[in-house]
Amino acid sequence: MPTRLLVGCGYVGMRVAEAWLKRGDRVFATTRSNSRADELSNVGIEPIVWDWLVGRAPSERGVSLKLAELIASELATVCVAVSHSPQQDVPHNETHTRGLNHLASLLKSMGWQANERSVTKWIYLSTTGVFAQALPGDWVDEDSPVLPERPGSIAALAGEEWIAERIPSDLRVVLRPVGIYGPSRVPRWESLRNKVPLQVDPDSFLNLIHVDDLAATIVAVSSTSMLSGLYCVCDGNPVRRKDYYSFVSKLGNWPEPIFEPRESSGPGRLPLRSDGNKRVRNSRIQSELALILKFPSYREGLRSLL
């Protein structure tokens, strides 16, 4: 029975955990909340109440024993799926590295070591937001230059660098997902319904991946020997925002979208995800995994949701 550890069990992580459980794997997951720990326990996940930014050892009864047992059973996977959102009083480039340092210390206290004898594969969820600004409509892939500007993307790239420096190359995989959508997460549908103008460039591109396909990709990577340590994860069908929002409006029987693009630059203005205008390739991971996506484009995904 492979043993998996999820650090961050939210919108994506929960689906990954459920998929592992269906395969018969043993799944541990960290959470900062006792009430959330109860929810995880109810579906068969073994919770560890722990805040990776604080880093103190878990104090709940039995948790240390669980961790020791996890390490002793040859931990198969550590999957870091923590939000990249800014944290108060934490520099952006430390939002994840501070937590990763605490995580490594916690595991080492239980006997885990990052060396060639380790069997633990690390999977780190980054973001395509780490890419440098591309020319409008340009294609990007794993070899494209990086220069993040948003706080979350800065945190993600620092996390990538931490993984690359400390985990052996054959035991690490960094995944860069594009915009994630799925149940309860259809971008801007309320604005469309309520005729609220969208402050985006209608001719710019949107890159998407359904949360179920992202979870399936993570599960596949966890059990497959990958040739590379870095992959973009998307459906491979970028769409212009005007076409995407028009399709949402049509499915919801709502008014056609109204666009009022805002100024793209200005003193002190931080770029938003909606400012992006690149197209992301998924050819590397598709060639290696040959994973058949449940939702190969936004059309199938949105039809399932709306």
What is the rounded distance in angstroms from the CA atom of residue 19 to the CA atom of residue 188?
A: 29
Identify whether 197 is part of a domain: no
Residue 285 phi/psi, 5° resolution?
Answer: -75, -30
Is 78:121 a contact under the CB 8 Å cutoff? yes
Q: For strand 121-125 and strand 172-177, is the pairing parallel, antiparallel, or unpaired?
A: parallel
Identify whether 137 is part of a domain: yes
CATH code for the domain in which residue 81 is found: 3.40.50.720
Give the DSSP H/E element, type plus range, for residue 304. helix 298-305
Identify whether 117 is part of a domain: yes
Count structural domains, the chain.
Answer: 1
Sign of CA dihedral 179, 185, 188, 193: positive
Is 218:123 a contact under the CB 8 Å cutoff? yes
Identify whether 109 is part of a domain: yes
The CB-side HSE value for 248 (13 A sphere, CA atoms) comes to 21
Nearest to 98 by CA among 89, 90, 109: 90
Residue with tokens 């409509």: 137
Determine the pLDDT at residue 160. 98
pTM of the shown model: 0.93
Identify whether 37 is part of a domain: yes
Q: Give Cβ neighbours of residue 18 (< 8 Å, ≥ 6 apart).
A: 43
Identify whether 273 is part of a domain: no
Is 7:82 a contact under the CB 8 Å cutoff? yes
Give the DSSP H/E element, type plus range, for residue 208. strand 208-210
Q: What is the pLDDT along the chain (306 residues), one digit of tens a residue?
A: 889 999 999 999 999 999 999 999 999 999 988 899 999 999 999 999 999 999 877 756 567 777 777 777 789 999 999 999 999 899 999 999 999 999 999 888 888 877 666 789 999 999 999 999 888 899 999 999 999 999 999 999 999 999 999 999 999 999 999 999 999 999 899 999 999 999 999 999 999 999 999 999 999 999 999 999 999 999 999 999 999 999 999 999 999 999 997 765 555 555 566 667 899 999 999 999 989 999 999 999 999 998
Identify whether 186 is part of a domain: no
Identify whether 300 is part of a domain: no
Range of the domain at 127: 3-181+208-236+280-292
